[in-house]
Amino acid sequence: MIEAWCERAAREVDRRSFRPLLLDASDEGDRRRLTEIIERASPSCHMELRGQLECLVKARNPTRKLKGEALADAVAQHLGGRTLERYGFWAYYPWSQRLVQVLGRPEFQELRCDRNHHKITRDEQARLRDQSVGVVGLSVGQASAVTLALEGVAGTLRLADFDELELSNMNRLRCGVHELGLNKAVLAARQIAEIDPYIDVQVQPEGVRPETLDEFLLGNGKIDLLVEECDDLEVKVLVRERARALGIPVLMETSDRGLLDVERFDLEPERPLFHGLVGDVRGSDLRGLTTKEKVPFALAILDHEQLSMRLAASFAEIDHSISSWPQLASAVALGGAVVADATRRVLLGRPLASGRYYLDMEERTAASAGSHHEPRACALPEDPGPLRAPQAPPQAPRTPGAELGVEHLRELAGYAVLAPSGHNMQAWRFVGHGRGLRCEVDRERVMTELEFGRIGSDIGLGAAVENVVLAAGAAGWVAEPQGFEPHTGVCDVHVHVGRHRVAAPDPLFEQLLERCTNRQLGQGERLGPEDRAVLAGEAEASGARLEFVDARDGLGELAELVGTADVVALQMQGVHADLMHGMRWSSEQAARARDGLDVHALELSATDRAAMRIMTRWPVLEFLREHGFGDALKEGSQRSVCSAGAMAVLSVPHAGADAYFRGGRAVQRVWLRATERRLAVQPMMTLPAFLARLGTSGEQAFTAAQRSQMRSVAERFFALFPARSGNTQVMLLRLAYAPPPTARSIRRALSEVFSLEARG
């Protein structure tokens, strides 16, 4: 009997109703309807109009301190002969069977928001009532919507959520057990109506879907701001895509560490969604994911480095000890306040930049300081765009007998900067003068810890000088390097544009624009005998020696050695800092910096890239080193070496202070020849640079354990590549038959590296 009665009662109350019925107490037609409601429903009546009027007249007369008879007189004067029964409005709430007498809209809203003044001025309050805000996701979003209503931040609130209230939601949602099973958007709308029956609340209880998105954002006028708090990743992306197109700012609060996420699409129409953290993922790509499948995207959106420890740990337990990620009422309540504050400032035109703001209560109470975080570049893979080769510099006049001019020097410098450069830091400068170009190492850009002094920069300068020689010959000019001064890092190149002593251009010149680092994995094919012979011959003609390892067991051994050196590098704080300083984590960042390594050029899988982002944090590497871990860090290097057609070491005889400069010229010619033969080339500089430290003061940078490791590596390395007495191992090269690279390094503008010598 009880169950049948409950079912009948539930049918009599519309579970989707959320709008109160407003009846004008002075209108005869509305009064008749009011009588009908009282007779039919016997509602609970709340007649507190006198108290509201007393508060209103006191608020309008703050200097008079009205009370007692003076207050009664002020109320009577305000009524102007009207009775309380016929003043204001009656609000009927069918879902709760309550009937409440309230002031009319202007007076009600004036009084209800009176205590906002002057944190919000009356003029600002009036402006806010003309604004509309949409809230998608009324679980966490309920706190935001209700707080917006409490503060009077918007005159129109548009709410969307398809979900229904469950008991497990009641750890954070403001509701009662009698509301279980109620649509969450309807639940929030009812609460808002009970706070202010005059707020225009519009509800989409089916939630936001692709076909209803425009209705939500544009129906009855475009909303002025969107608060996005839904769990559906497809919807999260879809609403941002459309909001960006419409110029609607988006706020999100994640109920972890008080994070407020701001995307000012109204000011930045080209801003990437989620600050670029999910790359070019589209909403349709995320349809139908399970909770566990959502985790990588959720971690990217939330920025895993910034998660609270307990939330980060909880992600690992989804579908094991917990069914979804946790949320607390305290965090949700804080989020509602943060969103309301940010919404008010955006709608009033106050400054609020895109980015991320943390109000971490645990952190703030411990350190008395908050934080503002602008996310770094894309954590998930992004499309690097089409592969583009560099452009040839403008061609200078080829007039016989012409004098050496600025345009000749600029052209040669333009080819010089196409040379390889350690970590693409381009530690060089080119100074034009009356005799030619002064090519010099830019000491401010040398990565001293990674290079062990200046090894990589000297190699890069040698390669750049070789480019100058090749480019001059192709133009019919003569370029004569005058030798390298090791202490100053300078090589003067004399150029003669009027002498036509070059019989024919060196064919390697044609490869200057094509040459690049290619880290794509090889196809498992061993380097052919003809390719080996051609490359070895080029090295020999350049005064160098090229030795190969291509047997599978030899490559496996070398992979272990390269991997060990790379792990040691990551676990040396100074070297680690150099490496991470030169990383560019998005195509946009690489284009802006015009130096360093574009992450796309590393040819990493999504998993490897995620691991590398974690490795940017020095304390993580320090922990691994101190506890003897880190072998997993070898895997990328080992895969790369084992996929090679061959590994080759280029060395130069007669070790000396200019050995790496001379080696750089030889490396460039070998690399260009390999490019001509369509070989992928990847320099692996860490191992040779570390071997050069041994037996010198440079080995003191290693810990005792690392020193022992590297001595063992050196012994095994020279078993593979027997060193001739006095020779310097300049560079280790990975050679492979592989697809084209995904991305190429970008060079700094010529204006940054080329200048003319000042004349006294």
Q: What is the pLDDT of residue 6?
A: 46
98 versus 292: the higher-pLDDT residue is 98
Give the whole-angstrom CA distance, residue 168 versus residue 327. 11
Residue 636: which residues within 8 A CB-CB, separation 6 or more? Answer: 566, 604, 608
pLDDT in tens, 616-669: 888 888 888 886 778 888 888 899 999 999 999 999 987 778 999 999 999 999
- CA neighbor of 15 nearest in space, from 127, 170, 179: 179
CATH topology of domain 118-283+327-373: Rossmann fold (3.40.50)
pLDDT for residue 265 is more than 70: yes
Compute the C-alpha angle 494/546/440, nearest 5°: 30
Axis-axis angle for helices 291-302, 233-246 (nearest 10): 40
Residue 103 and residue 78 in contact, taking contact as beta carbons nearer than 8 Å: no
CATH class of 406-513: alpha beta
Q: For 464-490, what is the mean pLDDT? A: 93
Residue 137 and residue 231 in contact, taking contact as beta carbons nearer than 8 Å: yes
209 versus 5: the higher-pLDDT residue is 209
Q: What percent of the chain has pLDDT over 70?
A: 93
Give the whole-angstrom CA distance, residue 179 versus residue 550. 72
CATH class of 529-736: alpha beta
pLDDT for residue 366 is more than 80: no
Q: How far is CA 433 from the centre of its chain?
A: 44
The domain ranges of the chain are 14-112, 118-283+327-373, 406-513, 529-736
Residue 112 and residue 91 in contact, taking contact as beta carbons nearer than 8 Å: no
pLDDT in tens, 367-376: 555 455 566 5
Q: What is the pTM of this model?
A: 0.56
Q: Is 682 helix (H, G, I), strand (E, B) or coil?
A: strand
pLDDT in tens, 198-237: 999 999 999 999 899 999 999 889 999 999 998 888 888 9
Axis-axis angle for helices 455-474, 686-693 (nearest 10): 130
Q: Do domains 406-513 and 529-736 have the same CATH topology?
A: yes
pLDDT in tens, 670-723: 999 999 999 999 999 899 989 888 888 888 889 899 999 999 999 999 999 887
Q: Measure CA of the first residue to CA of the last residue in the chain; give whole Å.
A: 108
Using CA atoms, how far residue 140 sits from 200, 263, 322, in Å, is: 21, 18, 19
Residue 254 and residue 279 in contact, taking contact as beta carbons nearer than 8 Å: no
